[in-house]
Chains A and B, each alone.
Chain A
Amino acid sequence: MSKSQKFGPPLNPRGRRLEAKELESITHVRAKTPAKYAWAAGTAMSRFLEELKNGKIIGRKCARCNRVLVPPRMFCERCFAPTTEWVYLPGTGVVETFSISYIDTNANRIKEPILVGTIAFDGAPPHCGIMHYFGEVKPEELKIGMPVEPVWKPKEERVGSVLDIKYFRPRQK
């Protein structure tokens, strides 16, 4: 079956199928919405970002349920109580899940896939961590449960962003 048949008009089209450009030229108004924001990182996340600069990943402990919350929060959403303690994590973890993406953020196709996923951190409750890239690993070698470690940018290049971690790679030792 040809592509045009597969993605062609619906079986019961009403009226004539119009080409987008043909229609837009007479019926559409184009505009941009110039809105800019300065988001507060927040009490907990500001400290988290600050520690990323130092090459550390930190969590926040809830004294009631004993969970170490990563990303850190100043309150535990389950116990609805304040968290009480900063906890330094080793930074290592395992691949919780992943995707091999052939599309970028704007849905453009890309040739070299982005390896992305979530990391469940050692020292945090099961399944708890953050989303990040994977590197120094072939797509076909990436597996759920694979032990990984962060690869940091050089200290002078860190700015207090999640991008201070370049990516996570298979643990070396």
Chain B
Amino acid sequence: MNLTKIRKDVAVVGAGMTVFARRLQETGKEMSWEAAKMALDEAGLTLKDIDAVILGSAPDAFDGVHKKGDWLLDGAGGTNKPFMRVYTGGGTAVFAPIAGWWHVASGMFKRVLVVCEEKMSSVQPHAQSAFAHIWDPILDRPLKPNLVWIFAMEMQRYMHKYNVRYEDIALVAVKNKRNAVGHPCAQLADPNITLDDVINSEPMALPVRRLDISPPSDGASAIVLVSEDVAYEHTDTPVWIDGVGWCIDTTMWTNRDLAFPKFVARAAKMAYEMAGIKNPRKEIDFAEPYDPFDYKELQHLEGLLLADPGEAAIMTREGKTQRDGEFPVCPSGGLLGVGNPIAATLGIKIGEVYWQLARKAGPRQVKKDVRTGVTQAWGDLMQFSAVIVMRRR
């Protein structure tokens, strides 16, 4: 693998995102347009300046319309341009930006727009009916599974193997829902939430309770990526994508030890090597890992080699991962606080790292001076991960 001789450095110069909520009125296309326009406006560009467009969106089953790529095309600004849709489940939020990155890094395109959209409210009565189609039809579906089951099983395995307490995991939900206060797009911000609220929330699939889970949502997010050749024409504060990595484990999830996400570590090592990071704990200032469940933030921090297995829970208990802590994690409020319109979480992952490093995060700005951030998303049948390292120079 060549992780050093990339032709062009790639910078983020603009980002946008819509309110995350159950948005019954707007179509996915309308939300895509809203987010894309915001990102272009922040970059000071119009669609004419854009050479190619990447669209990220999760299962077609949410919309009941196949080929969601061209279904959303007009809203994403891809008409009459080189255009592609990428999809890696929840991983799309960070993988679509990686697809945008290689378009620019190859030297082929100077300015690329990446738009991610999700509208989960169309499917009736609940997004679960679409999730039901994720399972293996022969082995799993006869058991009438609910998607939450596999996460509950993974969480149980994680707690067991690394001796992690449920109370420490629940603290992640408290932190992120509080962090989301001040995020203009947040669906589940709660300034007063307590540990007891999470612990006493109704059981879903134990050990998972209602407040351990991020909610289904509708929304869209977008970023503008540009080549080093033009970055400073658009802004004085470009934020550079210095490392990317992605990796997928086997679909045979009942053949894996679910306690440690090896595929996250592989993706992270790839991104760190490209970014020249030798000691991630020392060289990275904050993280936006994927947090659709509270335990996932911990497991992902460990997969990202920012904590030893089980240690992320202790860091959380000690307050180190708070926004003003020594290693802020999910200062955006994450999926738990802002919401989980699957692919559209781009706005709270790479979007947040961009806003933090460009010092544009407003009330969410972390206290310490941050120069290097990492973001990560996780998807497919809990087997895929994409990682991006970003820096302000």
Residue numbers of A with Cβ under 8 A of B are: 1, 6-7, 10-14, 18, 20, 23-24, 27-28, 30-31, 33, 37, 39, 41-42, 45, 49, 69-71, 73, 77, 96-107, 109, 113, 116-118, 125-133, 139, 144, 161-163
Return the 8 tightest CB-CB contacts between A and B, nearest first.
A99-B152, A101-B205, A97-B157, A105-B144, A100-B206, A107-B128, A97-B153, A127-B257
| B-side interface size class | 35 or more
Nearest Cβ distance between residue B384 and chain A, in whole angstroms? 15
Residue numbers of B with Cβ under 8 A of A are: 19, 21-22, 24-25, 64, 124-126, 128-129, 132, 137-140, 142-146, 148-149, 152-154, 156-157, 160, 181-182, 184-190, 192-193, 197, 202-208, 250, 252, 254-258
- The reply to whether B138 and A39 form a contact with Cβ atoms under 8 Å apart is yes
Tell me the complex Cα distance, A6–B187, Å. Answer: 11
- The reply to whether A97 and B258 form a contact with Cβ atoms under 8 Å apart is yes
Q: Closest residue of chain B to A132, judged by CB?
A: B143
A28 in contact with B24 given A97-B160, A127-B257 (CB within 8 Å): yes
A133 in contact with B148 given A39-B137, A105-B132 (CB within 8 Å): no
Tell me the complex Cα distance, A131–B258, Å. Answer: 13
- The reply to whether A27 and B145 form a contact with Cβ atoms under 8 Å apart is no
Residues of B close to A101: CB separation below 8 A: 146, 148-149, 152, 204-206
- The reply to whether A99 and B138 form a contact with Cβ atoms under 8 Å apart is no
- The reply to whether B254 and A128 form a contact with Cβ atoms under 8 Å apart is yes
- The reply to whether A97 and B156 form a contact with Cβ atoms under 8 Å apart is yes
Tell me the complex Cα distance, A10–B189, Å. Answer: 7
Tell me the complex Cα distance, A83–B235, Å. Answer: 57
DSSP class of B's interface residues: helix, strand, loop or mixed? Answer: loop
Residues of B close to A71: CB separation below 8 A: 139, 252, 254
Residues of A close to B21: CB separation below 8 A: 10
- The reply to whether A130 and B19 form a contact with Cβ atoms under 8 Å apart is no
Nearest Cβ distance between residue A161 and chain B, in whole angstroms? 6
- The reply to whether A31 and B64 form a contact with Cβ atoms under 8 Å apart is yes
Tell me the complex Cα distance, A139–B347, Å. Answer: 40
**Could you list some 21 contacts between A and B, CB below 8 A?**
A10-B19, A10-B21, A11-B181, A23-B24, A39-B137, A69-B255, A98-B156, A99-B205, A100-B205, A101-B152, A102-B205, A103-B146, A103-B204, A106-B126, A106-B128, A106-B146, A116-B149, A126-B257, A131-B139, A131-B140, A131-B153
- The reply to whether B142 and A161 form a contact with Cβ atoms under 8 Å apart is yes
- The reply to whether A133 and B19 form a contact with Cβ atoms under 8 Å apart is no
